[in-house]
Amino acid sequence: MDDRIKDLQSKMDKALEHLSAELATIRAGRANPHVLDRIRVDYYGTPTPLQSVGNISVPEPRMLQISPWEKSMLKEIEKAILCSDVGITPTNDGNVIRLVFPELTEDRRKELVKDIKKKGEEAKVAVRNVRRDGNDVFKKLSKEDVSEDEIKGLEDELQKLTDKFIKDIDKAVDEKSADILKI
């Protein structure tokens, strides 16, 4: 495989990885520690990932429990969760913070599926932008004594790669949507 194609493939990989990370933060009615991945806690003036200031466990299927390494961090963790887009009010008992995930309503499930599809479309746009940029680079190669057949071959290879990534994105979106709609 051509180095230029490998470079474009790594950019498409990043778009798919980003989508996977985004989908992991969407909750499906079950407690999943990944919904807290993007939350930053003010740890002595430094925004720090929540996972770095405490232990996150799943004691029950619909509950997350956060045990901070330092008790003084309870208020900061609670504040960070309240300010986030998690949509769950934390319960602080003085030792640990609990997040109880409510059962998802049918409307909320449909809303989440729309959001998942939107994120999937954004990932597809990112992949198509990589393809467009790659094709632009290949067109400029004709000025550098590269044959038209070789350029056509590169463009075809890039299109096959794009199709593969679009299919992977659709598969990830469909799996997550099915997971959300499953009661």
The C-alpha atoms of residue 34 and residue 154 are separated, in whole angstroms, by 38
Where is 68: in which H helix or E strand?
strand 63-68
What's the average model confidence in pLDDT over 80-86?
Answer: 81
The DSSP call for residue 4 is: H
pLDDT at residue number 1: 62
Q: What are the tokens at 75? A: 């208020």
Domain 3-24+105-181, CATH homologous superfamily name and number: Ribosome-recycling factor (1.10.132.20)
Domain map of the chain by residue range? Answer: 3-24+105-181, 33-100
In the chain, % of residues over pLDDT 90: 23
pLDDT of 32 higher than 80: no
Band of residue 29 on the pLDDT scale cut at 50, 70, 90: low
Query: Which CATH architecture is the domain 33-100 placed in?
Result: 2-Layer Sandwich (3.30)
pLDDT digits (tens, 9 = 90+) for 105-125: 888 888 888 989 999 999 999
pLDDT of 129 higher than 70: yes
The C-alpha atoms of residue 173 and residue 179 are separated, in whole angstroms, by 10
pLDDT of 47 higher than 70: yes
From 45, 26, 3, select the one nearest 85 (Cα to Cα).
Answer: 26
